[in-house]
Chain A
Amino acid sequence: MKAHLTRRYWFAASHRLDTPKLTADENRAVYGKCNNPFGHGHNYALEVTVSGQVEAATGMICNLVDIDRTVKHHVLERFDHQNLNCVPEFREIVPTTENLCIAIFNILKRRLENTHLEKVRLEETSQNSFEVIGE
């Protein structure tokens, strides 16, 4: 039978929302406080959902240890306590939580082996969250 398993993680990072495609005034108008040149930070909560058949031999969809190791190595260790604007993924694009959610989805899609990535959900604050769902 098919089930979904979700694991929740946390990391903290800073960013500044600013795009060279807009003027300084336009950046201030679009991004407001998030355009502060010195940046600001968030405690992000990351939810990773995988899905698949529950294996009869193990009673599990996948081995949680593998998921934890992959997320820790390829996401948490790369983004935790970093300035996102300095991370390679955001050299060309703005580190909005939408783009961060897509970047994390793409990283995990590539790195998670033998597991179907169903969804990545990212909370920027307790009031804002973003989801990327695998097609």
Chain B
Amino acid sequence: MTVFLTRKCEFSASHHYHNPAFTAEENRRVFGKCNNPNGHGHNYTLEVTVKGEVDATTGFVVDLKELKEIMNREVVDAMDHRYLNHEVPEFQSQIPTTENIAIAIWKRLEGKLHVAKLHRVRLYEMHNLWVDFYGEA
């Protein structure tokens, strides 16, 4: 029987939205306040949901300690208290929107899980705004 398990963690980071292919005016119009070149920040909440069969011996879908370590290493250590545009490699070439951060987190976690399968990455930028990514093309 498939069971879904969700683990939550938090990180705080700054970013700004800017596309060098746009003019300054287009950047301001498309990205609004998020275009401020000095950046601004959020407390992000990340929920990682994995799915799998319950192991008959351990009763686990996944070893939570291992999942926590992977999330800390791949996401929190890399993004917490960082300026995403300048300090996280994915955002040298991509705009660090919540959509793109969720996709980047999925790519960082996918393949690192040995037993369970990654089902959903949910990233809250604020309590009233979040993105879900299911690994869809």
Contact = CB atoms under 8 A, between A and B. Distances in A.
Interface stretch (A30-38, A55-63, A122-130): A55-63
A17 B3 CA distance: 38
Contact of B99 (A3, A8, A65): A3
Interface stretch (B40-48, B72-80, B126-134): B126-134
Interface string A45-84: 0000100001001111101110000000000000000000
Nearest to B127: A8
B98 interface: yes
A59 B96 contact: yes
Contacts of B137: 1-2
Interface residues of B, number: 26
B108 to A, nearest CB: 14
Contacts of A3: 99, 102-103, 131-133, 136
Contacts of B102: 3
Contact of B131 (A4, A57, A63, A65): A4
A63 B96 contact: no
Most chain B CB within 10 A, of A3, A4, A54, A57, is at A3
A123 B133 CA distance: 23
B49 interface: no
Contact of B97 (A8, A9, A49, A60): A60
A36 B8 CA distance: 42
Interface in B9-50: 17, 19, 21-22, 30-32
B70 interface: no
B136 A1 contact: yes
A5 interface: yes
A111 interface: no
Given A3-B102, A54-B97, A54-B99, 10 more contacts: A1-B133, A3-B132, A3-B133, A6-B132, A7-B128, A58-B97, A59-B94, A60-B97, A60-B99, A63-B30
17 contacts: A1-B136, A1-B137, A3-B131, A4-B131, A5-B98, A5-B129, A9-B128, A49-B132, A54-B97, A57-B21, A58-B30, A58-B31, A58-B95, A58-B97, A59-B97, A59-B100, A63-B30
Interface of A: 1-9, 49, 54, 57-61, 63-65
